């Protein structure tokens, strides 16, 4: 017969041995049947009533006991809140500008209830000016909350040592990055920061900044945290451009790297220029291996009386992957035009008089003041009957339709059939008044490539009226020169047909 039942509890971080003097018993007496029972212990739930939102729950342990005919039985100890450990932290950069931390943790005990949230707490111990503090606590920035109130401090100096020469502020801020669910005992990870690439819009970390990270777990009785791990985020590589004007149309452009993150290598440095912000007319680059502060200089020759926009870029090797990084993200956004033009001012060339031009340039020599290449490129698809016979002999095209077809359906069938069996050639004519700047087997950049009236029709290309549909546009098309079909004499000009592979 069960004559007494209840619970023992003790407030401490470590699991009890059972002999601690601070163990408290809450019991009830009577004649009880075997089965489940519960006793409300208000004191345990009131322990954290004055806690701040960021504080961990008080850890307490409890176990059930009964007296059955004066024989004492007790159960195993249970902790009220989960137990979680903080694991390794891996640094990454997205677009070489947005730092992220891949945090790892492990849930080792659920405590007395199921775990309903898990993740990580990010803590920033701040010291600096008020403007820098806004990143953490201003609306639409870091979304941190205050853990330790902000305090102002004065810096004394001067001849007497009592003159206030400066101020600084301190404070501690935190935010929790968690997911909800019903979680088992297992290892877990979460990407911290990264904006829309990681946690979400407006939740970012700063470059080259130090944070304390703790694994986080929560059940109905409170939250618990793992050990604090200090992490310093990576610093993105800034890309600066300095130029020296050699004459009216020639420039030296020096691209210089900022701080390259530890363990990373820049494998390509380049610069693109163009008379529109797409910067897709000229492309200079050099492959190699560079670190912080190193630079590459390019000799850039531009057309006279023109304005050229520029955009430097690098390819950076993080070890596990490579990424092409522009000097400025979203630089074509109209809202960022002023920032772009201030960071990378366009180059304006002088006009050149006709008598300044050198007309006797020889192949392999550089005795000209500037080069002007007027490109008139004409492309045509060749899909004559002989090609169709060659590629499509004994092939049939099934049409599930009435014998009398509509014009639209007929056009779709014709276009789809021809697209399957035609061979693409480019007939290119380039008017040039200097030695050819390329040779056979070179790969050249043609510029923007556009396809008119392309639509997804399960393999068919719809015919559309003029002015309808949209253009599919590629940033550039690379083509290999298969054959250069003419020669020219020094001092003259000619039309040179070039056969390309695209």
Share of the chain above pLDDT 90, in %: 19
Rounded to an integer, what distance in angstroms lies between the CA atom of residue 53 and that of residue 50? 9
Other beta carbons less than 10 A from residue 426's beta carbon: 18
pLDDT for position 451: 45
Higher pLDDT, 75 or 437: 75
Q: Do domains 83-232 and 239-348 have the same CATH topology?
A: yes
Give me the chain's average pLDDT, please. 76
Asked if pLDDT for residue 394 goes beyond 90, the answer is no
- The predicted pLDDT at position 47 comes to 79
Please give the residue that has the higher pLDDT: either 271 or 358. Answer: 271
Average pLDDT over residues 103-117: 92
Q: Provide the token pair at 442.
A: 């070179």
Please tell me the class of the 239-348 domain: mainly beta
Q: In the structure, what pLDDT confidence band is assigned to residue 420 with cuts at 50, 70 and 90? A: low
Domain boundaries along the sequence of the chain: 2-79, 83-232, 239-348, 373-501
Contact 143, 195 (CB under 8 A): no
Q: What is the pTM of this model?
A: 0.56
Q: Domain 83-232 classified CATH 2.60.40?
A: yes
Residue 292 has pLDDT above 90, yes or no: no
CB 292 within 8 A of CB 257: yes
Of residues 413 and 386, more confidence is placed in 413
- Res. 471: pLDDT tops 70: no
472-474 and 443-445 beta bridge pairing: unpaired
| pLDDT higher at 486 or 316 | 316
Mean pLDDT across the stretch 435-459? 54
Both structure tokens of 164: 């206030």
* Phi and psi based region of residue 104 (left: phi greater than 0; alpha: psi -120 to 50; beta: remaining): beta
Alpha-carbon 330 to chain mean position: 12
The pLDDT of residue 5 is above 60: yes
Between 414 and 130, the higher pLDDT residue: 130
pLDDT digit string, tens, across residues 190-239 = 989 877 677 766 677 888 889 999 999 999 888 999 999 999 988 777 88
> Looking at residue 436, what is its pLDDT?
55
| CB contact set of 6 (below 8 Å; sequence gap of 6+) | 25, 26, 27, 28, 39, 64, 65
**pLDDT for the residue numbered 44:** 73
């Amino acid at each position: 017969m069960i004559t007494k039942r209840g619970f023992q509890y003790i407030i401490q971080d470590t699991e009890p041995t059972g002999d601690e003097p601070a163990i408290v018993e809450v019991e009830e007496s009577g004649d009880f049947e075997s089965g489940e029972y519960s006793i409300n212990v208000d004191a345990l739930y009131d322990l954290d009533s004055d806690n701040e939102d960021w504080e961990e729950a008080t850890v307490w342990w409890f176990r059930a006991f009964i007296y059955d005919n004066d024989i004492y039985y007790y159960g195993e100890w249970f902790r009220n809140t989960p137990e979680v450990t903080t694991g390794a932290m891996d640094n990454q950069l997205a677009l070489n500008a947005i730092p992220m931390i891949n945090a790892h943790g492990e849930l080792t005990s659920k405590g007395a209830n199921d775990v309903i949230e898990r993740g990580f707490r990010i803590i920033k111990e701040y010291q600096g000016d008020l403007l820098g503090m806004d990143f953490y606590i201003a609306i639409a920035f870091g979304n941190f909350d205050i853990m330790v109130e902000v305090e102002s401090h004065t810096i004394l100096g001067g001849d007497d040592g009592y003159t206030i020469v400066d101020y600084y502020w301190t404070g501690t801020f935190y935010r929790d990055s968690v997911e909800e669910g019903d979680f088992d005992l297992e290892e877990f990870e979460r990407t911290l920061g990264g904006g829309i690439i990681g946690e979400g819009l407006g939740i970012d970390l700063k470059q080259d900044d130090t944070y304390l990270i703790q694994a986080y777990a929560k059940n109905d009785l409170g939250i618990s945290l793992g050990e604090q791990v200090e992490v310093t985020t990576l610093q993105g590589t800034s890309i600066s451009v300095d130029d020296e004007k050699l004459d009216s149309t020639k420039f030296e452009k020096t691209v210089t790297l900022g701080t390259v993150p530890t363990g990373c290598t820049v494998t390509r440095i380049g610069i693109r220029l163009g008379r529109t912000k797409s910067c897709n007319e000229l492309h200079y680059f050099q492959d190699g291996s560079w670190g912080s502060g190193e630079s590459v200089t390019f000799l850039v020759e531009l057309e006279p009386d023109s304005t050229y926009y520029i955009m430097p870029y690098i390819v950076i090797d993080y070890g596990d992957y490579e990424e092409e990084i522009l000097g400025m993200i979203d630089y074509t956004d109209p809202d960022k035009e002023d920032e772009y033009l201030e960071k990378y001012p366009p180059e304006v060339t002088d006009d050149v008089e006709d008598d300044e031009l050198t007309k006797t340039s020889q192949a392999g020599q550089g005795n000209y003041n500037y080069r002007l290449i007027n490109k008139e490129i004409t492309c045509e698809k060749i899909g004559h009957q002989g090609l169709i016979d060659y590629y499509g002999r004994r092939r049939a095209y099934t049409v599930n339709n009435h014998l009398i077809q509509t014009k639209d359906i007929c056009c779709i069938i014709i276009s789809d059939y021809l697209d399957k069996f035609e061979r693409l050639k480019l007939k290119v004519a380039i008017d040039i008044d200097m030695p050819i700047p390329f040779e056979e087997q070179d790969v050249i950049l043609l510029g923007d490539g556009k396809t008119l009236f392309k639509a997804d029709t399960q393999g068919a290309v719809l015919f559309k009226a003029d002015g309808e549909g949209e253009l599919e546009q590629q940033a550039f098309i690379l083509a290999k020169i298969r054959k250069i079909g003419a020669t020219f004499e020094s001092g003259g000009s000619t039309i040179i047909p070039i056969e390309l592979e695209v």
